Amino acid sequence: MLILVLNPGSSSLKYQLRRIGPSETKPGVLLDRVIDSPQGGTLDPDLLGAVYDVIDAAVRDITGGTRPDAIGHRVVHGGDRFSSPIRVTPDVMGTIEELGELAPLHNAASVACMRAAAARWPRTPQVAVFDTAFHGTMPNHASRYAVPEELYTRYGIRRYGFHGISVEIACRDTSAFLGIPLGSLNAVVAHLGNGASVTAVREGRSVDTSMGMTPLEGLVMGTRSGDLDPSIVTLLQRHGLGPDEIDELLNHRAGLLGLAGSADMRAIQDAVRHGDSRAILASDMAAYRLAKYIAAYNMVVGGAGALVFTGGIGEHSGQFRSRVISLLGPLGLFIDEVRNDAGEAGVRTISTDGSRFPVLVVPSDEEWAIAEKTAAVAFPPSVQTARGY
């Protein structure tokens, strides 16, 4: 069967057509495209609309005009409403849109994808797969904020976590690489892209993660501030900024962009090599914040068996990985620069043999996970058998 996967990020839209069959360990990729926004900024909504003409033509060329059997969507925020993949209906789209205030860079894009796909293929089943679902195993002491109980019960104010699809698939690949059962895996997983987060994984399950109620909390990101004193928000309000202005400032004009003038880590690392002081500060702040979380989460998991880098920056920026690991000597971690610079495909070790536990680079394959979950929801096993999938 053919599964079209649509994965809108904060600064790009990935879309793939994947073939799923009983003999394939990973769904075969027939189409793989990424559309990036200019300068690594927020994805332009107009770009989202235009890309469907490209998808339509590509699917037609590859399949001879046959529509995909199902369409899977990455949705960043499911809130308390969605804890597992679900068939897309008008009501589901409406709820995802309502949750958009918790993920302003993402949920609206996902709904736009759903509506555009429905317009192209109205009879094709669509499935929403949620980034927050994997973090539903966080204990209350990690997921709750120290605020009055009524704020939790009335508004659902708690930590949800994100990048769960990526972290889940990275854990599966890590356990296979290390030759241990997934249920025995204790690891710290850093998903680093324009949006970035770290997850503490104990016995294969998420027990803490750096993002919170929204994707704004945690690490220094492309355009997001990450952790900051909440009183900064009230200070800005007293100086006349409204809620929308502050939200736009912290989500779209902060982070690497605010510090270095660019949200693109590739450009920042190039500027670091040329001695640019703003780029050096931005890179150092991002590495320092990440190293702090890694050290803390090593405690949370009771001693990690692996540190995993995944996501675009995690996979491709050896310079940034090296900077982070240089701060983790107290954990017994040391970089092997030859391995780090090798650029090999697949899961690989980049730490020295004498490190306390391995540091791995694990290629992100969110689309594989989304395709699998989409097929399972849209076509249960009995239906797949009947249709000969």
State how far the Cα of 190 lies from the Cα of 308, in Å rounded to an integer.
6
131 is catalytic: yes
Angle (nearest 5°) at CA 252 between 249 and 253 = 60
State how far the Cα of 147 lies from the Cα of 300, in Å rounded to an integer.
22
Contacting residues for 14 by C-beta, under 8 A, at least 6 apart: 5, 6, 7, 8, 32, 33, 34, 366, 367
Which residue has 């057509």 as its token pair? 17
Contacting residues for 7 by C-beta, under 8 A, at least 6 apart: 13, 14, 15, 16, 73, 74, 366, 367, 370
Which residue has 């050290």 as its token pair? 295
206 has which bridge partners?
201
| DSSP symbol at 43 | P
Query: Pick the catalytic residue: 69, 131, 208, 264?
Result: 131
Sort 106 into a burial class: Cβ within 10 Å, 0-12 / 13-18 / 19+: buried
Task: Point out the residues that are catalytic.
Answer: 131
